[in-house]
């Protein structure tokens, strides 16, 4: 397994319901990746702002991404490639 540490801005399609957020798909470059499974979710803080983290499966790989509540931006933190 190859792990790449990233800090990439991404665009995410997510569902917001009952105080929860669930990523459904994200765009990395020109590629749209559809989330097939959310493996884990957790929260942390940067100052007074929450960050919502997700470990997801898409296209047969694992991705870690987060939503920063300070500016509602998404970032791709890490990818684990099968190989």
| Main-chain phi, psi angles of 80, to 5 degrees | -115, 110
In terms of residue numbers, what domain contains 22? 2-81
pLDDT (0 to 100) of residue 81 = 85
71 alpha carbon, distance to own chain's centre: 15
pLDDT (0 to 100) of residue 83 = 62
pLDDT one-digit tens code per residue, 42-66:
999 989 999 999 999 999 999 999 9
Residue showing tokens 């940067």: 46
> Using CA atoms, how far apart are residues 31 and 48, in angstroms rounded to an integer?
33
- Number of structural domains the chain divides into: 1
């Amino acid at each position: 397994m190859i792990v790449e540490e990233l800090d990439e801005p991404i665009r995410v399609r997510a569902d917001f319901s009952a105080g929860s957020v669930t990523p459904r798909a994200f765009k990395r470059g020109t590629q749209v990746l559809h989330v097939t499974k959310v493996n884990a979710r957790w929260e942390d803080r940067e100052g007074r702002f929450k960050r919502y983290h997700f470990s997801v499966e898409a296209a047969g790989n694992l991705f870690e991404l987060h939503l920063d509540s300070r500016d509602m931006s998404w970032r791709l933190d890490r990818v684990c490639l099968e190989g």
